[in-house]
Amino acid sequence: MNKSFIEKLAVSASIMLFSISSLAWTPSPDPTPDPDPTPEPCQGDCDFTRGPDPSISYLEADNGPYTVRTADVPSSAGSFNGGTIHYPSGTTGTMGAIAVASGFLAPEGDIIWWGPRLASHGFVVITINTPTFDGEDRRATQLSEALDYVIAQSNSNGSDISGMVDATRLGAMGWSMGGGGALKLATDRALKAIIPTAPYYDQGNDFDTITASTLIIACENDSVASVDGHASEFYNDIPASTDKAMLEIAGAAHSCVTSGNANEDIMGKYGVAWMKRFMDEDARYNQFLCGPNHTSDGDISEYRENCNY
């Protein structure tokens, strides 16, 4: 076989191999994705339901179906001066996270009862201490920092709540100035639901932009944050397109929503039902929010809503 034929054969083989490799070429892989990207909220038919079918006695009980454990939050965790994480055991999957703040000059103890109450129904709850002298907008910042802390703990392998929090399902609550902070935070950050209790907010606001489902709990004889000047006004500010309700506790003063109060069974029933309905998207709880004659209960002096939800 002569040399020229061999050379031509080699060139032909090289061209064929190049052609095959060109057809088989695949593009370089995309850059490595962010190891902790911002999670996308559920857009479709979401199902976050957990727990047995609810009843009035079930919701008014001190505890839900899950045992609650706690973890201390150090004062170094944020400007909110530490607090307590309450979380359920005996359940699986990720859960919504709720931050709860107290009022002016008020300790964590005034709102701590919401921690085990909500956690026993399948939420991760952080109740926080707050600085002595600050304002409503600072409360909003503190609530937001508390939610960030809970999310970070969920993302930490060594944490008590590792892997437990769904960062797309967040809520906020608060009493008095803390309630004003929850309303303020809902104008600044995407939240699923808020429950301001006897809320106080004494400055210009953008509450007409709130999209988080909002249950306001008011105290009828509140002389600190009067219903007409605060809770009622805030309820009216929130747009009709937002799911909302206002519950007023009959004959009650500003502290009617604090720990150890006789109204815990009423507030617990509506508070748990609200968070289950709008953070867990659990329609089983509609029956407690839409339909009943709420004021047939003598402890409720007024109830407003924009059902159906």
Q: Hey, which bits of the chain come out as E strands?
A: 67-73, 83-89, 95-101, 124-128, 165-175, 193-197, 213-219, 244-249, 300-305
Instruction: Return the ∠ at Cα 42 (arms to 182 and 234), rounded to 5°.
Output: 25
Of 154, 176, 213, 255, the active-site residue reads 176
Q: Is 121 designated active site?
A: no
Alpha carbons 88 and 12: distance in angstroms, whole number: 71
- 50 and 91 Cβ atoms separated by less than 8 Å: yes
Of 86, 121, 254, 294, the active-site residue reads 254
Q: 232 — phi, psi (to 5°)?
A: -65, -45
Alpha carbons 64 and 219: distance in angstroms, whole number: 25
The length of the chain, given as a count of residues: 309
CB atoms within 10 A of CB 292: 12
Nearest CA to 129 out of 150, 110, 156 is that of: 110
Q: Is 176 designated active site?
A: yes
- 189 and 145 Cβ atoms separated by less than 8 Å: no
Residue positions annotated with a catalytic role: 176, 222, 254
